[in-house]
Amino acid sequence: MSRLINTSRAVAAGLTARCHNIASTARPIRALATSSGDDLVEIELPPTSFEGYNLEVPELSFETEKETLLNMYKDMIVIRRMEMAADALYKAKKIRGFCHLSVGQEAVAVGVENAIDKKDTVITSYRCHGFAHVRGASVKSILAELMGRRSGASYGKGGSMHIFAPGFYGGNGIVGAQVPMGAGLAFAHKYRGDKNVTFALYGDGASNQGQVFEAYNMAKLWNLPCVFVCENNKYGMGTAAARSSAMTEYYKRGQYIPGLKINGMDVLACYQGSKFAKDWAAQGNGPLVLEFETYRYGGHSMSDPGTTYRTREEVQHMRSRSDPIAGLKAVLLEKNVATEDEIKAWDKKARKYVDEQVAEAEADAPPEAKMDILFEDVYVPGSEIPVLRGRISDDSWDFAKKDFLNKVY
């Protein structure tokens, strides 16, 4: 067991070290805040923000700093601009392969991140760009990864579905597989005796997987500090939730685990609910199941127009009535946290910042056509075995020589 934990620590240390350079200038737009961190604002959430299952719901009234509200707004507008840029790059055929965007769902990533700290861990599915950014990856490193550039978050090897940052374990392409992996991350927190937690996110499309329920069982059995989070955007690919799930109240699916449903289109509800969940798990109460009821404006992926299984009127209704960015903007104005001119200035700066990051990412080179690049991330540097045996003898790789062994067995 100790060998397993030590290996996990080495992997985490290697990931953190390799992510350091790409994360150092990730969120400069946040530096534009002008208010004092001690300036508190009273927030009153509507009663529809939360629903509990065997659980007292979080308080609807709470105080938070103006700085936090401003940072959440700036994070959301940067994420939306980044996703729109990815959309344009894909249509220009500069991004190939899979690409799943989160336009409309920004409140979930931003609400969670502002409620936890950097020692907490997060793992999610392939709709991961926003999470990678708020965890510390720069817009450039994310877009460079999408375009297969060496400066990408995964060095141009992973693409849209495999992006990592410090404390962020992906971006995972196998549907639902990140849920038991999240339970493993939570086990590491418990083993080390720290007070941190893991947020393991999955979509409503993955919610019926057997491995999700296996992870629930193990987390409850061992009382792990794991917050299981279903991002319910109403459609698993092109299938409405009610057509694939006999029970669509995903927050109740933990059965023996308490649950909490949160309005995922309101970043303040996401923030308050995530703070509650972090405290719950960190205090030794075991796992919790969250459901963020959210909505994606685009299709499942870039190959899906998103209009064959839902109406344009439905999408427009959500955009006009429930947009998370517009909702927080209204709060900033109502609470006198920012003026209309200040908000317009931040929107303009976010657009300029993302445009600059796109240009830098486009200008970068792809990985060199060198064989040793294929093997550089198989082991944490310094822990390699002498020879990695290949499919045939000629494929065996000598780590010391950085070349094929060409040994006949």
What is the pTM (predicted TM-score) of this model?
0.90
* CATH code where residue 37 lies: 3.40.50.970
In which band, very low, low, confident or very high, does the pLDDT at 5 lie, cut at 50, 70 and 90?
A: very low
Tell me the C-alpha distance between 364 and 98, whole Å: 21
SS (H, E, C) 374-403: HCCCCCCCCCCCCEECCCCHHHCEECCCCE
Q: Is the dihedral of CA 120, 75, 161, 352 positive or negative?
A: negative
Residues 6+ apart with CB under 8 A from 228: 179, 182, 200, 202, 212, 215, 216, 219, 254, 257, 287, 288, 289, 290
Q: What is the structure's pLDDT at 274? A: 98
Q: How many residues does the chain have?
A: 409
Domain of residue 399, residue span: 370-409
Q: Are residues 29 and 136 in the same domain?
A: yes
Q: Is the dihedral of CA 329, 334, 335, 339 positive or negative?
A: positive
List pLDDT tens digits, range 114-153.
999 999 999 999 999 999 999 999 999 999 999 999 999 9
Task: Give the pLDDT mean for 317-328.
Answer: 96
Model confidence at 268: pLDDT above 70: yes
Q: What is the structure's pLDDT at 394? A: 82
Angle at 221 between CA 217 and CA 223, to 5 degrees: 110
List pLDDT tens digits, range 358-392.
999 999 999 998 888 989 888 988 999 999 988 88
Q: Are residues 71 and 105 in the same domain?
A: yes
Q: Are residues 377 and 284 in the same domain?
A: no
Tokens of 79: 């994420």
List pLDDT tens digits, range 20-73.
445 545 777 776 554 444 689 999 999 999 999 999 999 999 999 999 999 999
Q: Where are the alpha helices (DSSP H) in 297-339?
A: 312-322, 324-334
Tokens of 299: 């299709």
Closest CA to 204 of 300, 307, 322: 300
Q: Are residues 253 and 384 in the same domain?
A: no
Count of domains observed in the chain: 2
